[in-house]
Amino acid sequence: MACGALVATATVWGDSMLVQAAPAPSGGRGTVLKDRVNVRSRADKSSEVVAQVSKGEALDVLERKGEWLHVALPPSSKCYVSAKLTKDGASTADAVNVRCGPNANHDIVGKLAKGEKVEVVKAQGEWSQIKPTAHCTGWIAAEYVELALPPPVVTAPAAALPASPAPEAPVPLGIKPVESEPEVHIKYVVKDGFLQTVKDESNPPATCELRTDEVGGRSYRIAYLETTEKNLVRYEGKHVRVLGNERWRKTDRYPVIAVERIDMVW
C-alpha cells in the first residue's frame, strides 16, 4: 500500500535580537514581537537578509539553535532559481539551489527536487524570482519571536474510592469484559530519519514509517507516520525531518506521529 504524502515545509533563520523565545519546544508556531525584523540566510548577523517580517506575523518554527530560530520562509521572501534549470514552472534537475539573490554568489536558502513545481514572480535574465517553496529555509533571532507552547495533555482526575468496595458482578460465560483505554502520552516532536513504506507487517497503525539510517546493513523503526495525504513517492527512502504530535500508548512498542509537516534534510 502506498504511503500518504506528507506536507513539506520550508524554514529560515532570523536575527536573534528579533524573537522572544519561551523555554520552548524544538518546533511549533511563533509570533513576531517587533516590526521590520530580519530573516537571514544563516544564523549569523552578517549573513544575507532574505525577508523582513512585521509585528504580529506568524512563523512556523522548526527548531532553536542558541539565540536563533529556524523558521519557514514567509511569502514575502526573495528567492531565485536559475532559469536554465526550470521549465514550465517546474525544476528540470534534482537538488536545484534556491538562492536569496539573482546570481550564484548569493546564499542558498533551499533546494528543489526534480519535477517540483514553483511559482514564478518575475524573470530576471538568467534567473527567475519565485515564491518560497516548502524547502526554503532561514534564521531569525529568538528574542524577537514569542513561541506558542503546545497545549498540555490533561488527564482526568481519578474517581474517589468508595468506603467499601462493591462486589464485582459475575461476567456471563462467553462475554469478554471491556478493558479501559491504556494510558496515552502525547507531545509535539521534531524527528529526523528515513521515510519508508511499512512492509511485511499485518495491520500496522499507519502505512508509512520513519527509520534510522542503516548501520551494518540494518535499520530500526523510530515511529509510524500518520497522514491523510496520498503521494509520498518523492520522499521514499530519503532523509527527512517530520513535525507533529506524537501519540504513544503504554502498551505499544512504537509511537505514531500525526504529521503536520515534512522537510527534506539535505
Q: Give the CATH number of the domain where residue 216 resides.
A: 2.40.50
- As for how many domains the chain has, the answer is 2
Amino acid 149: pLDDT: 63
Amino acid 33: pLDDT: 94
- Is 86 domain-assigned? yes
Domain boundary among 95, 112, 131: 131
For 230-252, how does the pLDDT look when each residue is reduced to its tens digit (9 = 90+)? 667 778 888 988 888 888 888 88
- Is 48 domain-assigned? no
What residues in the chain have per-residue pLDDT under 50? 1-2, 4-25, 171, 173-176, 178-180
Cell of 128: 527567475
Return d(Cα 7, Cα 134) in angstroms, integer.
8
- Is 139 domain-assigned? no
- Is 84 domain-assigned? yes
The whole-angstrom distance between residue 164's C-alpha and the CA centroid of its chain comes to 51
- Is 13 domain-assigned? no
Amino acid 150: pLDDT: 57
Residue 42, strand partner residues: none
126 with 191, same domain: the answer is no
Domain boundary among 98, 115, 131: 131
120 with 190, same domain: the answer is no
> In percent, how much of the chain has pLDDT > 90?
32
- Is 170 domain-assigned? no
Return d(Cα 127, Cα 49) in angstroms, integer.
19
Q: Give the CATH number of the domain where residue 113 resides.
A: 2.30.30
- Is 32 domain-assigned? no
Domain boundary among 112, 131, 150: 131
For 136-179, how does the pLDDT look when each residue is reduced to its tens digit (9 = 90+)? 889 999 999 988 765 555 555 555 555 655 555 554 544 445 44
Q: Which domain holds residue 92?
A: 79-131
- Is 236 domain-assigned? yes
Amino acid 81: pLDDT: 94
